[in-house]
Amino acid sequence: MLSGKTVLLGITGGIAAYKICELIRMYKRANANVRVVCTPNALNFVTKLTLQNLSKNDVAVEEFNVEKFNPEHISYADEADIMVIAPASANTISKISGGICDNLLTSIACAFTKPVIIAPAMNTNMWENPIFQENLAKLHYTILEPESGYLACGYEGKGRLCSIDKIFDKTIELLNRRPLTGKKIVITSGGTIEEIDPVRYISNYSSGKMGLALADYAANFGADVSLITTTNVKRKYNVIKVKSALEMQKVLDENIDNADCVIMAAAVADYRAKEVQPQKMKKTSEDEIALTLVKNPDILKALCEKRAGNPAPLIVGFCAESENLLKNATEKISKKGCDYLIANDISRKDIGFSSEYNEVSILKKDGSVKKLEKALKSDIAAQIFEEIYG
């Protein structure tokens, strides 16, 4: 299954490192060339000799052990088809997230441009630490979440390395399945900003994380991606920064020629100020002021009307509801005319706006509904694309 493929396997310092020996065997049985890179602390849990015998290759640890003209971290990155970091410690994940390159493994990760799988393993308190979760969320890689159970440290909870089979299967999937190759996909994300004066504006709580997760997934699976977003994003695919609903509509119209799919994940403000004041509005003696608002264009509906019955592009809308989720979403997909509508329940604090997690229902224009249970937004993105193109 992996003939002709090189798997770059990064091992960090954690008790689960011993499990990676079996993963190497699985890769070798699938005819992969396995190159192993360890952090120095990883060798406290598994020996270099063991890893060399299993992989049939030298095991790299030191960053400046250069025998040829090209630096090791670049040559390893160029040679491999995929990078798998397992177990991935909180320390290594946070370093990669921050762009820190203080050992060979983190330097390779920084230079790696192909698919990356990260399988974390750590104490449950470390996994749940909000700072660590912020670091994890910055990574646009495939994250295989740890499992719950009894941990080596004596704790009971989430933190165990996921199954070796899951890592292996995901490697096969990423290397052999590029279902979006040749497709042009345009995605909007973030909450629009409607100015009132030079210092005030109308907006919403959308973080843009769901749209970004969709764009990352599409790019990783071969699509030509354009992300139109109100947030600050740096990616290797096409990212266009916008602010208001009118600007988003204009940029969208300029970028949807020949698009195969348009995903409207942005939270577009329904209204904007009728007049934007050129100077800051001063406080007066009045206890109340009146602000006149006018409707913004319904970008999703206009896009569906412009398509005028043509099968392309495929149009996917999003809706955020605080009550009667399915009832409101069913009415909305009928009014908008899109092919799919992703319904979010924003009344819950553990998912949605600003969270790394989501739980959605996918409505199709034929009336069918599929619920996706709570998961990382990267996992939700994968399931949405599997539903659309599976």
Which residue in 21, 38, 101, 153 is the catalytic one? 153
| CA dist., res. 384 & res. 326, Å (int) | 17
Give the C-alpha distances (Å, rounded to integers) separating 17 from 44, 144, 318: 9, 16, 41
Reduce the DSSP state of residue 328 to 3 states and report it: helix
For 148, how many CA atoms within 13 A lie in the half-sphere containing its CB?
A: 3
What is the phi/psi pair of residue 151, to 5°?
Answer: -100, 155
| CA dist., res. 41 & res. 354, Å (int) | 34
Name the H helices within the chain. 20-29, 48-55, 72-79, 90-97, 104-111, 124-128, 130-137, 164-176, 209-220, 245-255, 299-307, 325-336, 377-389
Residue pair 210/380 in contact by the 8 Å Cβ criterion: yes
Residue pair 220/174 in contact by the 8 Å Cβ criterion: yes
- Pairing of β 261-264 and β 184-189: parallel
| CA dist., res. 89 & res. 74, Å (int) | 23
Facing residues of 94 across strands?
Answer: none
- Pairing of β 201-202 and β 194-195: antiparallel
| CA dist., res. 159 & res. 145, Å (int) | 8
Give the C-alpha distances (Å, rounded to integers) separating 150 from 77, 156, 162, 274: 35, 5, 13, 59
Name the H helices within 119-206. 124-128, 130-137, 164-176
Q: Is 153 a catalytic residue?
A: yes
Provide the token pair at 353: 């706006």
The catalytic residue positions are 153
